[in-house]
Amino acid sequence: QVQLVESGGGLVQPGGSLRLSCAASGSIFSINVMGWYRQAPGKERELVAHITRDGNTNYADSVKGRFTISRNNAKNTVYLQMNSLKPEDTAVYYCNAAINFQTSWGQGTQVTVSS
């Protein structure tokens, strides 16, 4: 049984910052790509960023230069540092990881950017 648990969401003013964390636990022998997706009300879930085990990263155009994804392989954890947040970044953010050659999802954490 594998579990992904996110933390770090909340309410922040435009221009502010938040850091999301996602820790994987359970019977893990392999974690490949880890990433973050988000889903705003009435919209489809979209990729925000992902990172390979070797540290190669990929970002959605809408967050390039503002968000930074990183991971700690020893802790089976992925992070998302979000700076210069905009109201359009408001969404539920989901952690995603390829664990034991299967895709796993976290339960999601709400990020709200509002004054």
Cα 67 versus chain centre, distance: 10
- The confidence score (pLDDT) of residue 35 equals 97
Judge whether 9 and 21 are in contact, CB under 8 Å.
Answer: no
Structure confidence by residue, pLDDT tens digits, 7-66 = 999 999 999 999 999 999 999 999 999 999 999 999 999 999 999 999 999 999 999 999
Question: Phi/psi at 42 (nearest 5 deg)?
Answer: 80, 5
DSSP string, 62-97: TTTTTEEEEEEGGGTEEEEEE-S--GGG-EEEEEEE
Alpha carbon separation from 19 to 3, 16, 87 (Å, rounded): 20, 11, 16
- The confidence score (pLDDT) of residue 1 equals 87
